[in-house]
Amino acid sequence: MKITKESFNKYVRENIFNTLDTYQLIKDDEKVMIGVSGGKDSILTLHMLTMYQKESDIDFEIKAVCVDEGISGYRNQGIESAISNCKKLDIDLDIVSFKDEFDHPLDDIQHLYKSSCMPCGVYRRYLLNKSAYENKCDKIATGHNMDDEIQSFLMTFSRNDQNKFVKFGPILNKIHEKMIPRIKPLWQLAEKDVGIWCIVNDIEIHDEECPYSETSLRSEVKYFLNKLEEDNKGIKRNIFNSFKNTFILPEAEVNINTCNLCGQPTANSPCNACKLTQEINELL
């Protein structure tokens, strides 16, 4: 059966709108901050939430933020794509950087860690949350797709880290006044469909792998799952559905405090970002 551009776009739109509606990811009068890296997932999220804003009965605002980690030869193209797509869609975009907030671009500190993604993830989550809080946003929308969710699930199992189970699902609830809930509109959409959507609609994206991605466990898990899928078509969707239909997501922990150094929410003070900064300053 031939799939037309129209039918494919309809499938993608319905998949994402279904996630937004079923899990009530956005409510009336909310302000949603979209984390935009300029890659395909965040750009699709940007376009679809703009469409949802026009087509649904829900009255909400959109704002975007792009985090500049400081990765030379890579991040600038992503920022250009974020700027260009936000301009086309008339969405206000802020750019925040590791350099401005933490004094060090990722390039200068990544060698201190086995995986560059560790400091990058800690600082990026911190900055996204801080930006959303300072912009009085009610939700942070990320571009996490179905493949990302399965990878995270397997990584959590492989690390025997059950505390992370609260991070699964299409929405992470509010557990602290300054911790902005995250939503994942692409939660049920396969990564390959995100890529196809960008191509068939001729959308400008930054389509390169981060030069540090190979240092991560995620890239190994991703490779493993893609290999499985190559030999067993549909296996990723089966894993996702099994998880979705059987796994009861635990309630988020309510024991969240405030960092005594920066005032941001954290389980234990100082927060991971402040601890990381202290550690980096000692190591450099």
The residues that touch ligand SF4, with contacts defined as CB under 6 A, are 69, 116-117, 120-121, 210, 212-213, 216
Minimum distance from residue 117 beta carbon to ligand SF4 (Å): 3
Contact assessment for residue 240 and residue 134, using Cβ atoms and an 8 Å cutoff: no
Minimum distance from residue 204 beta carbon to ligand SF4 (Å): 19
Q: Which residues of 4-14 are buried (b: 16+ CB within 10 A; e: fewer)?
A: eeeeeeeebbe
Give the SS3 label for residue 179: strand
Minimum distance from residue 68 beta carbon to ligand SF4 (Å): 11
Tokens 């692409």 locate to 186
Residue number, 50 or 75, with CB nearest to ligand SF4? 75
Q: Which residues of 243-281 are buried (b: 16+ CB within 10 A; e: fewer)?
A: bbeeeebeebeeebeebeebebbbeebbbbbbbbbeebe
Length of the chain: 284
Rounded CA gap, 241 and 234, in Å? 11
**CA 225: distance to chain centroid?**
19
Residue number, 119 or 170, with CB nearest to ligand SF4? 119
Rounded CA gap, 157 and 154, in Å? 5
Minimum distance from residue 74 beta carbon to ligand SF4 (Å): 8
For residue 59, how many other CB atoms are within 10 A of its CB? 11
Contact assessment for residue 204 and residue 39, using Cβ atoms and an 8 Å cutoff: no
Q: Which two tokens stand for residue 248?
A: 């009861």
Residue number, 20 or 225, with CB nearest to ligand SF4? 225
Contact assessment for residue 260 and residue 275, using Cβ atoms and an 8 Å cutoff: no
Minimum distance from residue 29 beta carbon to ligand SF4 (Å): 33
Residue number, 138 or 191, with CB nearest to ligand SF4? 191
Rounded CA gap, 169 and 226, in Å? 21
Minimum distance from residue 145 beta carbon to ligand SF4 (Å): 14
Minimum distance from residue 39 beta carbon to ligand SF4 (Å): 9
Residue number, 107 or 193, with CB nearest to ligand SF4? 107
Residue number, 139 or 222, with CB nearest to ligand SF4? 222
Residue number, 223 or 247, with CB nearest to ligand SF4? 223
